[in-house]
Amino acid sequence: MDRNEVLATLSAPGQPLEIVETEVYGANCRTYKNAPASLCELFQQNLSDESFVVFEDERYSFNDIWGIASAIGQGLVSDYDIQKGDRVAICMRNYPEWIIAFEAITSVGAIAVAMNSLWQAEEIDYGLQNSGCKLLIADQERIDLILQAGMKLSCESLLTRGDQSTDLPHWEQLLKKFAGSTMPAVDITPMDDAIILYTSGSTGRPKGVVSSNLAIMSALLSWEVTIMSWILMSSETPQPPTFQPAGLLAVPLFHVTGCHAMFLMAFRSQTKLVLMRKWEPQLAAQLIERERVSSFTAPSAMTADLVYRAQQGGHDLSSLAMVGGGGAARSPEQVRGIDAVFDNAMPNTGWGMTETNAIGTTIAGENYLERPGSSGQPAAVLDIRIADEEGNILAPGERGEVQIRGASMFRGYWNNPDATANSHIDGWFKTGDVGYLDEEDYLFIVDRIKDMVIRGGENIGCGEVEAALLEHPQIREAAVYSVPDQRLGEEVGSTIYCNGANIDDAELRGFLAARVARFKIPRYIQVSDTALPRTASEKIYKLQIKQQALAALNIEP
C-alpha cells in the first residue's frame, strides 16, 4: 500500500485512530474520534508500573509520577487556590519535577506556562506578567537569577531542587503535606486551554502561544499514525521489542519537541524517558548504552554531536532504532551520517512550529535518504499550501510562503488579538517560512520571511536583540542577522554603529547578558565606522549588511 492507502486504512470508521470532521474554532477540521478528551485523561489512561522517568540515580514509574502529581495538584488547589483556567508557570531545567508539575497543573484544569529556563530575570518577569501567572514553580538557578536582580515577582513562587535555607515555600513541604492525596476532580473539555509556550517573534517581545487539549492530542495521535504508517509501508516485518522503548530527553521540556514529541508521546507507547539536565555528548552516549535508549529526537546540532560520538566509538549505541530531528534543518551529509554510523537507527525529521504543537510534516527512512533536503509530507489532520505575496495558491515546485491549518493549530497568541489576526489569512496560519511542495506533497523549506535566527533549534527574534543593543548608550544603530554555522545551523551576528569612542567587546557582552538570555548574545559583533546602509524607504538594509559581514568573516552564505 502507498501512504494514502495506509492513512485511509488506519483512520477508517471503527479503527482506534478513526478520523472524523469536527468544528474547531468555527472551522471544520479532521480530528481523532477516540482521542483522550484532555491531558488529564491521557495521563490516567496510561498508568502502570513500567519505568517512566530516569534522572541520574532517581527512577519513577508512571504510577509513581501520577501519585506525586496528585499530591502536588491537591496542594495547588488547597494552598494556592489554583482554579480552572489559572496560569501556573514552570521554569527549570529538565528535572522530574518539571514533568510532575505539568501533570498536576493541567490535570486540575489550569494552564501550564512552559517558560524558557535560559531566560534572564527580566525575561522571566515579563513572561509572568504577560501571562498573568498565579504561581511560579522554579528551580534554584531561576530563583537565584531573580533574587540577584533584586526583582519582586508578580506572583507567588514554589521552589524545587533548592537550598533548604532559602526563605521560600518548598516543593518538598507541599508534597509532604498532601502525600497520598488524590488528584482533584475537575471537568476539563477538549477545547479548554492547556498550555502556553513562548516563541520569539521577528520583532519585540516573545509571544505566548496558547493551545487546547484537543490541539495537543491531535498532534500526539498524528505522530502515532505516522509511525504506524512507516511500519506498514516498510518492506520488513517488524519484530516485537525485546525491551521497553526508551527515549533520551535532552531537548529542554519548554520546547514543543521536548514537551510534546518526547514527554507527552511517552504515555500511550509506555516509553521510558531518560532525562538530561543539559546536553553533554559523552554523557548522552553513556546513558544510551546504560538505559538501552531506542530513540533520540533533537535539533541538528545535538544529533551531529551524537554522530561524532558514535564515530569515536567506545559505547554500545546499537539499541538506537530512531534518530529524529526538528527545530532546525539537517544537512544532507548528517542524514547520510546517521544512516552510516548507527547500526539499527532510522533517520527521521519533520517540520513544525510551536503554533502547530510541533507537528506539521514528517519523513523517515529510505524516503528521507532519497530526499534529505525535505521535511516530509503533511500530518493526517493538517493541510498545507504554498501562497505568493498576493495570496495566490502556487503549483507544485513553485516557491512561496508555507501556510497551514488543521486540528493541531494553536488558539491564538495570549492577550494579543492583533498578532493573532495578522498571522492568519482566510483561516490559514502564515508561517513566515518560504518553501515548496513537490508533486508528491513533500515539503521543502528554503528560506524564512520572518526576521529570525534559529540557533540550535532556539528561535531568536532579531528585533529583540537589536532592541537590547540599542539600550547601550554608545550604540546608535544595530542590525542583527543569521550567520551560517556548521554545528548549530545558525549563529547570531550583529553590526553596530557607535557614538565616537571604540566600544569594549567584553563590556558590551556583559551589558547584553543582563538583558537577554546568553544564547541570544551575538557571537559575531561587527563595528561600522559609518551609519548603517538604508533602503529607499529608509529601512536599515539588512541584506547588504549581512553580506558585507559574511565577506569580512570569510563565511559562505
Tell whether 17 and 108 lie within a shared domain.
no
- Which pLDDT score is estimated for 496? 95
Q: Smallest Cα–Cα separation from 201: which of 514, 474, 459?
A: 459
Please list the ranges in the chain whose pLDDT falls under 70: 164-165, 201-204, 235-241, 327-329, 535-538
Condensed to tens digits (0 to 9), the pLDDT of residues 49-61 reads 999 999 999 999 9
CATH number at residue 372: 3.40.50.12780
The predicted pLDDT at position 375 comes to 92
DSSP string, 131-199: HT-SEEEEEHHHHHHHHHTTPPPSSEEEEES--TTSSS-BHHHHHHHTTTPPPPP----TTSEEEEEEE
The pLDDT of residue 333 is: 74
Domain ranges, residue 263? 3-34+210-448
Q: What three-state secondary structure class fits 82?
A: coil
Residue 437 within a domain: yes
For residues 82 and 165, membership in a common domain is answered with yes
Single out the residue in 448, 471, 497 at which a domain terminates: 448
In a domain, 39, yes or no: no
Same domain (yes/no): 191, 247 = no
The count of domains in the chain is: 3
What is the model's pLDDT at position 537? 53
Q: Give this prediction's pTM.
A: 0.87
- Alpha carbon distances (Å) from 47 to 51, 108, 190, 271: 11, 17, 20, 12
Could you tell me if residue 41 is inside a domain?
Answer: no
- Evaluate whether residue 204 is within a structural domain: no
- From the list 426, 430, 380, 379, the residue with the least C-alpha distance to 404 is 430
Residues 464 and 524 in one domain: yes
Asked whether residue 226 falls in the same domain as residue 335, the answer is yes
Q: Is there a single domain that holds both residue 215 and residue 243?
A: yes
Same domain, 73 and 142: yes
> Which pLDDT score, from 0 to 100, does residue 462 have?
87
Residue at 54 is within a domain: no
Instruction: Kindly state whether residues 314 and 341 are assigned to the same domain.
Output: yes
Q: Is residue 521 located within the same domain as residue 482? A: yes
What CATH number does residue 518 fall under? Answer: 3.30.300.30
Same domain, residue pair 496 and 391: no
Neighbour tally for 236: CB within 10 Å: 6
Locate 421 and state its grid cell. Answer: 489576526
Q: Which of 415, 448, 481 is the last residue of a domain?
A: 448
Q: Would 44 be classed as within a structural domain?
A: no
Nearest to 258 by CA among 92, 109, 373: 92
Q: What span, in angstroms and rounded, lies between the C-alpha atoms of 201 and 254?
A: 16
Is 42 contained in some domain?
A: no
Which of 199, 223, 241 is the endpoint of a domain?
199
Residues in the chain: 557
Residue 239: per-residue pLDDT: 65
Tens of pLDDT along 215-273? 999 999 999 999 999 888 876 665 666 789 999 999 999 999 999 999 999 999 999 99
**pLDDT value of residue 242:** 74
DSSP codes joined into one string, 16-66? TT-EEEEEETTEEEEEETT--SSHHHHHHHT--SSEEEEETTEEEEHHHHH
Same-domain check for residues 517 and 382: no
Q: What CATH number does the domain containing 102 carry?
A: 3.40.50.980
Instruction: Say yes or no: 440 and 465 in one domain.
Output: no
All cell numbers assigned to 468: 537590547
